[in-house]
Structure 1
Amino acid sequence: MTKSTKSTFLSLFIILFIGIANARSQSENEKINNLIDQKISYNKKNKNSTVFKIQLYNGNETEAYKIKEDFNTSFPDYHAEVVYDKPEWKTQVNKFKTRLDADRVAIIIKEEFTAAIVLEDKI
């Protein structure tokens, strides 16, 4: 085998090796992307995520809405909502992704709404 033949053979081998490695890499990337898509689809269908809420009040409807208005006036950066959970009305604040985030905000809120508590909820 001549030197130029060896060089050509080596060049072809390197190109073939790079092509195979690239195809394998693309195949693995496609598998990863497919798994990510499956996880996103699963999460949309099975909403079992945990969130944390700060509950300000639990009782009658009139008081629940009054506390919501008072809260929205005092803390415009947060969103309070009134929820009816048979047989009681609840005034709750936001849906926090972590307990730590909810606890941090609860400390501030408790200065004005002393009965505020952090609750874990599934959505």
Structure 2
Amino acid sequence: MTISSKKLLFVIFLALLLSITNLHSQSEAEKITNLIEQKRSFNKKNKSSIVYKIQLYNGNETEAYKIRSNFSTSFPEYNTKIIYKSPEWKTQVGAFNTRLEADRVLNIIKEKFVGAIVLEDKI
């Protein structure tokens, strides 16, 4: 076998190897695309909405209602709720769609209610 035929055989081997690798990577890309579509479909079917709430207080009932009254006087544009989860009462504000929106309102509220925090809640 001559050197040129060895080179030709080597080039053919490399071309074959590259084509197999290319086919494999295409099938991997198709699998990834398929998985992404499955995930999107799953998310649409199993939708659990996440909202963000600002918690002003967590403690006894009397104080929870007192803080709600003070808050409603200072910020009448926001809705407040009193929630009881044994053994504590919580005073919460709003149901914001994004964390950014909740954080913006939190910055305003923190001027008067220093201990306020943002919580994530599933509905």
TM > 0.5: yes
Cα separation, 2, equivalents of 1:95 and 1:47:
17
| Structure 1 runs, 4 residues or longer, greater than 3 Å off | none
The separation in 1 between residues aligned to 2:64 and 2:121, in whole angstroms, is 19
| Corresponding residue of 1:23 | none
Q: 1:82 maps to which residue?
A: 82
Structure 1: state its 5+ residue gaps: 1-38
* Aligned partner letter, 1:97: N
How many residues align? The count is: 80
2:92 maps to 1:99: no
Deviation digits for residues 16-65 of structure 1 (CA, Å, limit 9, x no counterpart): xxxxxxxxxxxxxxxxxxxxxxx6xx5xxx66210000000000000000
SS at match of 2:92: strand
Offset of 1:86 from its aligned partner? Answer: 1.2
* 1:95 Cα deviation after fit: 0.3
Q: Equivalences for 1:15-54 in 2 at 5 Å?
A: 48-54=48-54
Q: Which secondary structure does the structure 1 equivalent of 2:84 belong to? A: strand
Which amino acid in the other structure matches residue 83 of structure 1?
A: I
Amino acid at match of 1:58: N
CA–CA distance in structure 2, aligned partners of residues 118 and 67 of structure 1: 17
Root-mean-square deviation (CA, aligned residues, Å) is 1.2
TM-score (norm 1): 0.62
- Taking structure 2 as the reference length, what is the TM-score of the superposition? 0.62
Q: Deviations over 1:57-113 (max 9, x none)?
A: 000000000000000000000011100011100000000000000000000000000
SS in 1 for 2:114: coil
Q: Which amino acid aligns with 1:71?
A: F
**Identical-pair percentage:** 69
Q: 1:81 to 1:47 in 2, by over 3 A?
A: farther
Looking at structure 1, the residues matched to 93 and 110 of structure 2 have their Cα atoms a distance apart, in angstroms, of 12
